[in-house]
Amino acid sequence: MYLNNLNPSVKALTILGLVVALALLFDPVTPALFTLCTIAVTFLFGDFRRKYYLFYLIPFTIFAIGMLWTTIAFADAPKNPAETIGLIWWEVPREDVLVALSLSFRVLAFATMSLLFIFTTNMVEFLLSLMQQLRLPPKLAYGIMAGYRFLPMLTTEFRQIRAAHRVRGMGRESRWKRYRRFAVPLLAGAIRKAERTAVAMESKGFTGTRERTFYRNIRVRKKDWLFPAGMGAIFLLLILLSLRFDYFSWYQGQL
Amino acid sequence: MKNWKLKEIVVMSVLSVVFAVVYLAFLPVGKVLTGFFGPIGYDLIFGIWFIVSIIAAYIIRKPGAAFLSETIAATVEVLLGNAAGPMLLISGMIQGLGAESAFAMTGYRRYNLGTLMFSGMMAAVFSFVWGYFQSGYAALAGGYVLLMFVTRLVSGVILAGVAGKALSDALAKTGVLSGFALGKEKRKKHAA
Amino acid sequence: MNVQNLSLQYDDMDAPILQNVTFSLGEKECVLLLGASGSGKSTLSRCLTGIYPKELEGTMEGEVTFEGKPVKDAATGTMSRRVGTVFQDPETQFCMLTVEDEVAFGLENICVPSEKMEKRVETALEEVGLLHKKEAAVISLSGGEKQKLALACILAMEPPVIVLDEPTANLDPVATDEFVSLLRSLKELKNITIFVIEHDLDPWIDITDRVLMLGRNGSLFYDGPLQQGVDRYARSLYEEGIAVPGAVRVAMESGRTAPPYPLTARGLAPGLSAPLKAPPHRENGPSLMQASGISYKSIFSNVNVTISEGSFTAITGPNGSGKTTLCRLLAGIDPVSSGRITRPFPDKDWFQHAGYVFQNPEHQFLTDSVWEELAYSGAEDEKIEELLEWCGLTDRKEFHPFTLSQGEKRRLSVATMLVKNQEILFLDEPTFGQDAKSTSRLMNLLEEKHRAGTTIVMITHDMDLVDRYATRVVVMKDRKIGFTGDPDELWNEDLAAFQLKEPFRVRTNRLIKGDMYVPQ
């Protein structure tokens, strides 16, 4: 599928660019429409387990709704308190609702864009691309890769430690002390393993210099530019629409 | 990156991975607190989200440790599915820069409790300024915003600075840090 | 490869770890370096590969040369083309996610052109028999496969010398044999020098051309053929923490054989007039715990086990057969999904009566010193002193538990589980990865407790331990109970079907009777 084969650096930079551009705007409609477009693009051009996508999107939506409510509840005094909207049984200033909606949809737009990236990108290819296209030092890239590999190992370790502590009869102490008792064996084990991994990498001739060849060469092809062009076009179209229907506004450290 | 040893990079990255998970685990805690106290709920525990900067910098003691560790942690958080998405990456980098700035100001020479507390404070300052513009704190009442700021400062100093140092020192006692700057310093003190 | 008067001391230690070590490695030779854990074996391997003195926090004297040129002058990264290393821990020698990427990683480092890489990756994987796993995730491999992968990574880079640092310490006996025979066939096939660092000599007997023996003081005390070395030092090997081959031990105990000692069961059997005796007393008491029809998630279902009072029950079976799961369920660490376990004590204070020793003892440590560790479990000062004395840690009481040696950590974790005079003790592979001396120290402690009436349930791969200590054995196979009963009955079963190895005693006896061909 197109999104999965897209050059990861191009994909990441496009998304980052769009996020910055979206952050400059402040109205409820543009991010809402953009969210829908992003989801559509993800589903049309991405190959992934559809069920998991929803599984991830739901908490994001809850988060956005939570944000909506807190922003309204703790809002600054509005400029036009007279204009209100009835939210079921609660009268709130119109202005506050608009601000809250803008913030919440922006969060959703960011979230769907990051999901687009996460669901269609292979972590290893991303790091390889960062090295090959964006000149990330290999020492850092492979160091991160080695660290990332620890993730599943750490989960098992964590469970082991929890069970082991239960046998020792933990639980009489304050929460902070318990955290510390957990953290020390977990981190100590991880650090020792990290050191061993580094030694193993060096013994395979890894020096961290840029002089190396690659088993997988990640390139930027012509069709990769379709993604920034297409997403940029959607974004501009939405801005034109917002200008046309007059709800466009810049973000001014709201409000 | 030249004067970094590979083992320092791998250890930094492992610390970032561990704390990325911790950071994610504290999000719901923040949400619960927000439910009780409003947006300030997050500020109460905000210091947690700076802790890897302080730990990595205190253990490794090389320019860039605070910034890079926080950035990697944020990246891993995004990959694991944090709700804030790419914005979090930028927040992470800014927090990291804040923490890093404190170490830069001391010329990367002093790593005592004061510096670490200062570093937690700077991370709080940077992150608050960023949050002010990015998350629309300006929409909230002025006095409330000030209270949020002070809370976050205190949280950064205590939860990142003081707790970060305590945790690193406890780790140093296990002997696993003997190949790193912190472990070597302890050994010198011990010998003297 | 030459090592001349090598001495090395770490900054954080009082005594040098290597003293005046001198030896050489010839082309196509297979040399075995024997030494106890902590005797500086791994340090030596780091000197050979040029990691030291570059990464060393300490001082190093003497010289290591490869083909006449000093290793320390080699540019960073170039030594890896000459000496490759397979490390002990299968979990921490990889940095990539898939098998092919991992093998390619080394080739990328030495700038092999991209278009030639695939061929070399495939050849190396084929040599170790992992070609079918080329695209698999590294994490999905078993321990034995991981070590083969580590070997493939090295083979792909085609160095003339391969150093193996306790490569089988974390493998079960079957995987160990497989790994050693893989090396043997590679040795015949390829033009490589092999340098193996070990504390256990048994699996390596056939493939070794020469042995070096490293003492606890860090100096070599023997360099020469295996047979002479064993003949001369048989009596001091144990003190140096090196496992004495089973055949040598029996020959010495029987007292009838003077050097040269037989090294294998095959060599020993003809000299024996009577079969080796089984250990005495294999009684089991009445039932203490009973598990009926227990299931756990999808891991296993409908398992029935009885643990008798005062028994020494060994749980064994191949990796992944569900041994640990069973043990954890019995000990009440994980809750059963269905079925019932009847325990002699109420759940509320169950862990006052039962102890569980995890595979990694560090997981169980909670405090900053050995003393506090025991105090945390609620022991009185007198009891602590007594336990420290019992497990030989009295002079270590101020130490941080993490800074102890592997064997000491294990003994401490057993001690923390005995503070309340627990009646039942569960242990998950307590002898794994330890040298001969710490294994026998630990087993003596357990045997003592067992004789005093403690019920012991222990997971182990080591059939010699089962033969010597167990009163009852439970064999897991494919997540079911494959066998329960007396160890002596087990030896008459088809052990190969359970992926188990016969204990040394039984193997020898069969050879005496001559009723079975034993491949060695």
Please report, for the domain that includes residue C423, its CATH number: 3.40.50.300
Within a domain: A160: yes
Confidence of residue C278 (pLDDT cuts 50, 70, 90): confident
Residue A203 contacts C where some CB pair is shorter than 8 Å: yes
Q: Are residues C421 and C486 located together in one domain of the fold?
A: yes
Answer with the one of C176, C207, C239 that is the final residue of a domain: C239
> C411 lies in a domain?
yes
- Interface membership of A157 toward C (CB under 8 Å): yes
Evaluate whether residue C179 is within a structural domain: yes
Domain extent for A186: 138-203
Give CA–CA dist C174/A210, Å, rounded: 42
Q: How confident is the model at residue C519 (pLDDT cuts 50, 70, 90)?
A: very low
Q: Residue C92: CB partners within 8 Å, gap ≥ 6?
A: A193, A196, A197, A200
* A146 and A75 both lie in a single domain: no
Q: Is B14 within the bounds of a domain?
A: yes
Give A105 or A92, the one with higher predicted confidence. A105
Task: Tell me phi and psi for residue C286, to 5 degrees.
Answer: -70, 165
B78 to A70: CB separation less than 8 angstroms, yes or no = no
Question: Per mean pLDDT, which range of A70-79, A120-129, C420-429, C436-445 is the poorest?
Answer: A70-79
What pLDDT is recorded for position C313? 95
- Assign C51 a pLDDT band (cuts: 50, 70, 90): confident
Six-digit token pair at B174? 């296990």
Q: Which of C10, C11, C12, C94 to mutate to test the interface with B (most CBs of B within 10 A)?
A: C12
Nearest to A196 among C87, C138, C376 (CB): C87
Give the DSSP letter string of chain A: -HHHHS-HHHHHHHHHHHHHHHHHB--SHHHHHHHHHHHHHHHHH--S-HHHHHHHHHHHHHHHHHHHHHHHHTBPPPS-TT-EEEETTEEEEHHHHHHHHHHHHHHHHHHHHHHHHHHH--HHHHHHHHHHTT---HHHHHHHHHHHHHHHHHHHHHHHHHHHHHHTT--SS-HHHHHHHHHHHHHHHHHHHHHHHHHHHHHTT----S----SS-----GGGGHHHHHHHHHHHHHHHHHHHTT---B--S--
Is there a domain that residue C217 lies in? yes
Determine which of B88-102, C89-103, C429-443 has the lowest per-residue pLDDT on average.
C429-443
- Angle at CA of residue C131, ends C128 and C133, nearest 5°: 110
* pLDDT attached to residue B36: 80
**CB contact (8 A) between residue C55 and residue B5:** yes
Residue B22 lies in a domain: yes
Contact map slice: C 207-266 vs B, CB within 8 A:
none
Looking at CA atoms only, how far is residue A6 from chain C in angstroms? 20
A144 and A228 inside one domain? no
Q: Which of C55, C57, C403 sits opposite B175 (nearest CB)?
A: C403
Of C215, C239, C263, which residue sits at a domain end? C239
- Whether residues C400 and B175 touch (CB distance < 8 A) is answered with yes
Instruction: Answer for the pair C322, C479: CB distance below 8 angstroms, yes or no.
Output: yes
Query: Which residue of B5, B178, B190 is the best one to mutate when testing the C interface, meaning the one whose CB has the most C CBs within 10 A?
Result: B178
Instruction: Let me know if residue B165 belongs to a domain.
Output: yes
Asked if the model's pLDDT at residue C272 lies above 80, the reply is: no
Domain range for C235 is 26-50+76-82+159-239
Residue C520: its pLDDT value, please? 42
- Asked if residue C215 is part of any domain, the answer here is yes
State the pLDDT at residue A166: 84
What is the count of structural domains for chain B?
1
| Residues C411, C342 share a domain | yes
Mean pLDDT (whole number) for A66-82:
69
Exposed / middle / buried, residue C81 (Cβ in 10 Å: 0-12, 13-18, 19+): middle
- Considering the domain architecture, whether residues A87 and A179 belong to the same structural domain is answered as no
| Vertex C288: Cα angle to C284 and C292 (nearest 5) | 110
Q: pLDDT (tens digit, 9 = 90+) per residue, C127-168?
A: 999 999 999 999 999 889 999 999 999 999 999 999 999 998
Q: What is the mean pLDDT of chain A?
A: 86
Classify residue C270: in a domain, yes or no: no
Q: Give the least confident one: A69-83, A116-130, C146-160, C179-193.
A: A69-83
* Residues of chain A contacting residue B87, judged by C-beta atoms under 8 Å apart: 19, 23, 110
CB atoms C351 and A169 under 8 Å: yes
Contact list, A193 vs chain C (CB under 8 Å): 89, 91-92
Verify that C434 and C343 share a domain, yes or no: yes
Residues in chain C: 520
Residue C328 reports pLDDT greater than 80: yes
Q: What whole-number distance in Å separates Cα of residue B177 and Cα of residue C324?
A: 32
Pairwise CB contact (< 8 Å): B170 & C368: yes
Percent of chain C at pLDDT > 70 equals: 98
Is the predicted pLDDT of residue C16 greater than 70, yes or no? yes
Amino acid code (one letter) for C100: E
Interface residue B187 vs chain C (CB under 8 A): yes
Domain limits at B41?
Answer: 6-186
Question: Which of C12, C57, C402 shows the shortest C-beta gap to B176?
Answer: C402
Q: What is the pLDDT of residues A150-165, one digit of tens each?
A: 998 888 899 989 888 8
Instruction: List phi, psi (to 5°) of C480.
Output: -130, 170
How far off is chain A from B12, nearest CA to CA, in Å? 8
Please tell me which residue, B152 or C37, carries the higher pLDDT value.
B152
Whether residue C400 and residue B173 make contact (CB cut-off 8 A), yes or no, is yes
Q: Which residue has the higher pLDDT, A17 or C78?
A: A17
In chain B, positions 93-122, which contact chain A (CB-CB < 8 Å)?
Answer: none
Q: Do C365 and A189 touch (CB under 8 A)?
A: no
Q: What are phi and psi of A186, to 5 degrees?
A: -65, -50
**C292 and C205 both lie in a single domain:** no
C101 with A216: Cβ contact below 8 A: yes
Q: Which residue of A has its CA nearest to B171?
A: A184
In whole angstroms, give the CA distance from residue B168 to residue B183. 10
- Mean pLDDT score, C323-349: 89
Residues A184 and A112 reside in one and the same domain: no
User: Is B141 an 8 Å CB contact of chain A?
Assistant: yes
C contact residues 42-81, partner B, Cβ 8 Å cutoff: 55, 57
Please determine, for the modelled complex, whether the ipTM score is greater than 0.95.
no
Q: Does B186 touch chain C (CB under 8 A)?
A: no
Domain count, chain C: 2
Residues on chain C touching B178 (C-beta within 8 angstroms): 12, 57
Residue C252 in tokens: 């010495």
- Tell me how far apart the alpha carbons of residues B169 and C387 are, in angstroms, rounded to a whole number: 29
Say if residue A11 is in the same domain as residue A100. Answer: yes
Mean pLDDT of chain C: 88
C235 and C307 together in one domain: no
Q: Are residues A168 and A234 in the same domain?
A: no
C 411-440: CB under 8 A from A: 416-417
The reply to whether A102 and A199 lie within a common domain is no
Give the DSSP letter string of C249-287.
HHHHHH--PPSSPP-SHHHHGGG-SSPPPPPS-----SE
Is the per-residue pLDDT at A248 higher than 80? no
Note whether residue C282 is domain-resident.
no
pLDDT of residue A255: 43
Chains that touch B (3 or more CB pairs under 8 A): A, C
| Predicted confidence (pLDDT) at residue A9 exceeds the cutoff of 80 | yes
User: Please, which chains are in contact with C (at least 3 CB pairs closer than 8 A)?
Assistant: A, B
Q: Mean of the pLDDT values across residues B69-91?
A: 85
Whether A213 contacts chain C with CB within 8 A: yes
Shortest Cα distance, chain A CAs vs residue C253, angstroms: 40
- Asked, for residue C58, whether it belongs to a domain, the answer is no
Q: Do A155 and A101 reside in the same domain of the chain?
A: no
Which pLDDT score, from 0 to 100, does residue C267 have? 81
Average pLDDT over residues A212-225: 93
Q: Are residues A144 and A112 in the same domain?
A: no
C368 Cβ under 8 Å from any chain B Cβ: yes
Q: Which DSSP category does C141 fall into?
A: S
Tally of domains in chain A: 2
Residues A15 and A41 in one domain: yes
Do residues C217 and C303 share a domain? no
First to last CA, chain C: 31
Q: What is the pLDDT of residue A131?
A: 95
Confidence grade of residue B35 (pLDDT, cut at 50, 70, 90): confident
CB contact under 8 A, A215 and C121: yes
Contacts of B167 in chain C (CB under 8 A): none
C324 lies in some domain: yes
Spell out where C37-82 has E strands: 58-66, 69-70
With respect to residue B85, please indicate whether it lies within any of the assigned structural domains.
yes
Interface test with C, best of B8, B167, B174 (most C CBs within 10 A): B174
Q: Shortest Cα distance from A184 to chain C (angstroms)?
A: 9
Out of B5, B174, B179, the one facing C400 most closely (by C-beta) is B174
% of chain C residues with pLDDT over 90: 39
Under an 8 A CB cutoff, do C109 and A217 touch? no
Lowest pLDDT segment from A61-70, C145-154, C183-192, C407-416 = A61-70
* B132 to chain A: closest CA residue: A253
